[in-house]
Structures are given as C-alpha cells and as structure tokens.
Structure 1
Amino acid sequence: MSNSPNVLALSGGVGGAKLALGLSLSLPVSALSIVANTADDFLHLGLPISPDLDTVMYTLAGLNNREQGWGLAGESWHCMTAVERLGGPSWFRLGDQDIATHLMRLNGLQQGHSLTQVTENLCQQLDVDHQLLPMCDEAVRTYVQCAPDNHHDTTYELPFQSYFVEQQCKPAVTGFRFEGIERAVISPAVASAIENADIMVVCPSNPFVSIAPILGVPGLKQRVLDNISTRVVVSPIVGGIAIKGPAAKMMAELDMPRTPLAVAEYYQGFASHFVLDTCDECFVDDILALDMQVLVTNTVMNSLEDRKELADTILRWIQASG
C-alpha cells in the first residue's frame, strides 16, 4: 500500500501466521518484520525443532499445508514410519521434507551460527523476502503447569509440546513457566526492528504461550513501549472460541471469561488499539473503557483474500486514526 508504515508483527503459530502472511501481501519487504515465538522450541530425536518459527516461515513461503495449518504441503512420512518401526518416539511426527529444515538448522547451529542467522538463511533458501526473526537466540522453554488429576496428586508440569501434542491439551492448566527466559537477550535484529517500527501488530495468537514469552524477553516489552506508540492486538478469541489452538480452554481453566474483553484486559497497559470480530461487537464499549481504540471487522481468515483484507483494513484504520 502507498506510504506504508513500518510494521513489527508478533506471531505464534497457525493463527498468527495467517495475519503475518496478510501483512506480507500488503507491505513492501522493507516495511515489515515478524518476530515469532520460540519458547515452543524443543529437541526431538536430536533435532532442534522450532514449531512456530517454521509455521510462519512455511506460510510466508506458500509451502504450508493449508488444510491443517502446520507442516508442509505434499509431505511424506517414510522416516517417521521407520523411526516407529525401530521403537522410537512417534507422538511428534516430522515429515520427510520438514526433517530437512531441522537438519539444516542443526547444521547451522553446530557451525556456531545464531538462530537468527540460521533462520535468515532458511528464509533465503525458501524465497521468503520479509524479515522473519526468532524472539531471541537463547533457548527458552515453555512448561505448562497442570492441575492434579487421576495420575497426579499435586500440581505438575509438562513441557509444552508434551502438553500440546502428546497429551492433546487435555490436562487442566493452572499456569506457565518459561525456563531460561531470564537469560534471554534482545538480539540486534529484534532491537533494530523495534526501533524502526511505526506500528506493532500482535497477530491473533495465544496470549499465554505465544505472545507472553516474546514480551517476556528481558527489556523487550519496555523497549516496545518506549519506541512504538501504536500497538495493535488482534483478538484470538472469536465468539467465545479460539479459531486455532487451546487459548479458550486455557482461559476457562484460568477462571477468565472466554471473551475478547478478557483478552483486552490481559493486554491493558500495553495495547493501544484492539481488533475484534463483528460477532463480538457487544464488547466495544467495555474495551473502549480500557483506553484502547477499537476496530470491529471480520477477523476469521479462511482464504488468502481474507488474510490480506484484514491486514489492509487494520493498516487503513491505523493511518486514518492518526
């Protein structure tokens, strides 16, 4: 679009990647940087897996499996079939093409390159022109704190991927812990993206396990507050449900109403602008009372056109509101 502002987008996985793609279709390469959550990262079969980072990367490259939202289109599973036959763990399935990404990431990291540098190289190879950055280069790992159940007498913790994939989000959540977050450092690339941005857009992603760790990198949230006056949050909750992922379930278990208002309250003091779906228009006045400007529009992105239209609508709204 003409007179494009510089935009910094924060994204989790599938839901966030949709709007990140829309923004990439609306903005020139020089005007968009995307910071992806890496607290979901983990080692599996000796390979460094970055689920959210890869979901955004594959989506920007036009290579993602659009039906399931994650992974690659046209994937095959010969390696995992062989792993299972050999008695290896098969609960987290890696496609044959996807394994190549993780092997190249491992190779780059072993050569001493940072995760930021490795991600830049992978994006170049996949013709992803817009800047995609990990939230930091240090290892941060999400642990989900779970309520006692039939197998546990007290509160217990699960690594995020065990909770999300292996347990299919079934345990009741009581909180979250980001191991290693205190050692994380704002990378020069992320610092530059913040300093150059006119607008921050928090793509529709899980507030607790996708966006919280990004903003939890020491000093990052304050740097955003100091440098970017327009901070837009797009609600991941539409009509009481999360379009993708366990955000709504987590909110219920944390005794939060499953509403965009509750999301807005979570971001109060950080968000200056809030975007909610037309079906949730009844919450406008309450969100306005939180000292946020509010946009009501279609936020459900079923098609490529939906993704670009939402991005265009947000950018036009911001420019019109000054």
Structure 2
Amino acid sequence: MTLANKPRVTLLAGGVGGAKMAEGLAALEDIDLTIIGNVADDEEFHGLWVSPDIDTMTYTLSGRINRQQGWGLADEGTRALDILTTLGEDTWMMLGDKDFGLHIYRTMRRTKGHRPSDIARDIARAFGVKAAILLPTDDRVQTRVKTQKGWLSFQEYFVREKCAPQVDALEFSGIAEARPTGEALAAIADADLIMFAPSNPLVSIEPILTIPGIRDAVKAASAKKIAVSPLIAGKVVKGPADRMMASLGLRADACGVAHHYQGLIEHLLIDHQDADLAREIAALGITVTCSDILMKDAQDKARLARQVISIAMGGKLNGEAA
C-alpha cells in the first residue's frame, strides 16, 4: 500500500452485518471506501423490483435506517400495505410507504432500460451516501433455498417462513450466465484491502464470489484480504447463517468460516470467545486476530473498522505508527 494516499478499501457485503461493517468503515475519513453488495436477494413484489441488501446498505450509510429493525426506513408507515391487504394481496414482505417510493423509482428506470448499476449509484447519491455502492452484476441472479417445502426464493425462506425450514441445498439461479460489472472488477483489482464483511458466507458473500470472474479477480488481486467472522461462539448475531451452515454439513463456527474462505483470505478476525480455534484456523494458512468483534453501537463499528485497516496497513495509517 502507498501510505501517501488514502488506502482503497473494497468491502464485500450483504445483510445487516455487512451494513454495520460498512458504517464503521464509512466513519473513517482516512480511507477510500467502495462496497460491492449482494443482489441475489432481489425479488419482485407487487410489480416492483426490490433489492433488500442494497437498500439496507443505502439506508444505513445515509443515516435513514430503522435502527431497531436494522432494515427499512426510520419513521415509516404501512398504509400502502394495508390497502393491498384490503384488496386481497399477499403482503408478507414488509415494505414501508417511503420504501415503496424507492422501489417505484427503481422499477420505473429498469423498465426504461437503465443499467441497474447506474440506478443504484444515482439512488445512493440522492441519499447523500459518500461511499461507492457497486453491484457485482447487472444481470438477474437469485438465491433459491431447497427445503422440505420445496424450492423457495430467498425472501420466501427468510421473511415468509422466518428461516424455520431446514436448508437442504442452495442455488443461485442465473449466475452461470451473469457477467460481472466493470466497476466491481476494477474495485477489486485496484484495492489495497479487500474485506469480507461479517455477513452470511453462504447467501450474502457467496453469490458475489460465484458471479463468473469475481472469485478469480479476488484471488488475483494484490490487495490484503481480510475477513471478519460473522459467528461468535458458534452463534450468529443476526440471521440464519449458523443454522444454514450446520444443515449443509459445514462447521457452524469461526473455523467453518475460515474453511469456507480458505484460498481467498489471508487474515481472519475472530472473537475472543473463539480464541481456542485460533491454532486450527492458523493451520489452514490464515493468520488470526482475536478481538471483540460484536458491533453494538457506532463506536464499536468504527473501532473494529480501524482495527482491520491497521492490520492491513501493518499497524500504520496515514504514515503514523499504530
């Protein structure tokens, strides 16, 4: 890395954990932040194209997120959903009134043939987000979850079924034909640090990496590659990652995360509660740092972000010793 310039940080992220990590990084003025978000959770509702992970990232970095939920907008209403319910529509997907405005705008522009990457960029700018939020692909890629109820879309599994069914398999519909965006490839190639957010490795990060060309670009990049474990003491802070990993025969702990990212990352931050796994993770060729990785508030997010940057910079930032 060149200490004379701001380190270029590219964050691979999805879900609430990814948005928290992005918020911590965005609080640091001495880095240049780019986020590659997950689009495989996208789905159409009531004729509108909804992009939950990208919207959560946008709402979080603009300061408009509903802090209690971790998703959606603050000071939100549900009058539009109330009318749809009255009209007999299935309204299990929670979409707020102001949220509907964004989905209308996105769908309107998609209908006109505008590039999804351009739409996401313009939305982020309108919301005052300074970091670049990039799509890994402009093509339609959707996570599908196989359960005893059959194949479900991710939102059917996550929202309608509340993650209750056992996950027997995952697939990413359309991913073999998808093409990576030039912006995403450039952000990976030009990065000083590629960071894997504490997002669900299987349904938030894997859909990004599986887009043809993305995984190879990450491997080929000269950047430092660091991940933060989404699991603490074998449990996830939020979401179904631990249950998913266990039901698919993977270790549902920080070591399982390390196995999943082996060959992609050089360094993994794990929680102090998982210190007993450090030696096993190190045997995979991954350097380990034990820390307090739970992000309870803004101070925690910024502290963890700065720790990752310090590790990547060899303990230096802006030319100063850590």
Q: TM-score range by the shorter chain?
A: over 0.9
Q: Is the 8 A contact 1:274 1:293 kept in 2?
A: yes
Q: Tell me which residue corresponds to 1:158.
A: 152
| Residues 98-117 of structure 1: pairs in structure 2 closer than 5 A | 98-117=99-118
**Structure 1, residues 162-217: CA drift from partner, whole Å, max 9, x if none?**
01111111111111110000111111211221121011001000111111110001
Q: Tell me which residue corresponds to 2:15.
A: 13
- Report which stretch shifted further, 252-261 or 262-271: 252-261
Q: Tell me which residue corresponds to 2:270.
A: 276
Q: Is the 8 A contact 1:75 1:96 kept in 2?
A: yes
User: Is 1:188 the counterpart of 2:182 in the alignment?
Assistant: yes
Cα distance change on mapping 1:240 and 1:2 into 2, 3 Å: farther
Q: Is the 8 A contact 2:9 2:195 kept in 1?
A: yes
Q: Tell me which residue corresponds to 2:36.
A: 35
User: Is 1:145 the counterpart of 2:146 in the alignment?
Assistant: yes
**Deviation of the 1:4 alpha carbon:** 3.0
**Structure 1, residues 56-108: CA drift from partner, whole Å, max 9, x if none?**
11000010011110001111111001111111111001100100110110122
Q: Is the 8 A contact 2:23 2:61 kept in 1?
A: yes
How many pairs align? 314
Taking the aligned partners of 2:202 and 2:83, their CA distance within structure 1 comes to 36
- Report which stretch shifted further, 227-236 or 282-291: 227-236
**Structure 1, residues 107-139: CA drift from partner, whole Å, max 9, x if none?**
221222111100111011100011001121000
**Deviation of the 1:28 alpha carbon:** 4.9
SS for the counterpart of 1:26 is: coil
| Residues 168-183 of structure 1: pairs in structure 2 closer than 5 A | 168-183=162-177
Q: Is the 8 A contact 1:229 1:272 kept in 2?
A: no
Taking the aligned partners of 1:7 and 1:27, their CA distance within structure 2 comes to 12
Taking the aligned partners of 2:202 and 2:79, their CA distance within structure 1 comes to 35
Q: Is the 8 A contact 1:277 1:299 kept in 2?
A: yes
- The residue identity in structure 1 corresponding to 2:96 is G
Q: TM-score, normalised by structure 2?
A: 0.94
Q: Tell me which residue corresponds to 2:68.
A: 67
- Report which stretch shifted further, 228-237 or 81-90: 228-237
**Deviation of the 1:43 alpha carbon:** 0.4
SS for the counterpart of 1:158 is: strand
User: Is 1:244 the counterpart of 2:251 in the alignment?
Assistant: no
Gaps of 5+ in 2: 317-322
Q: Tell me which residue corresponds to 1:122.
A: 123
Q: Tell me which residue corresponds to 2:193.
A: 199
- The residue identity in structure 2 corresponding to 1:48 is W
SS for the counterpart of 1:320 is: coil
Q: TM-score, normalised by structure 1?
A: 0.94
Taking the aligned partners of 1:61 and 1:229, their CA distance within structure 2 comes to 28
- Report which stretch shifted further, 249-258 or 112-121: 249-258
**% identity of equivalent residues:** 37
Taking the aligned partners of 1:182 and 1:78, their CA distance within structure 2 comes to 39
Q: Tell me which residue corresponds to 2:27.
A: 25
SS for the counterpart of 1:263 is: helix
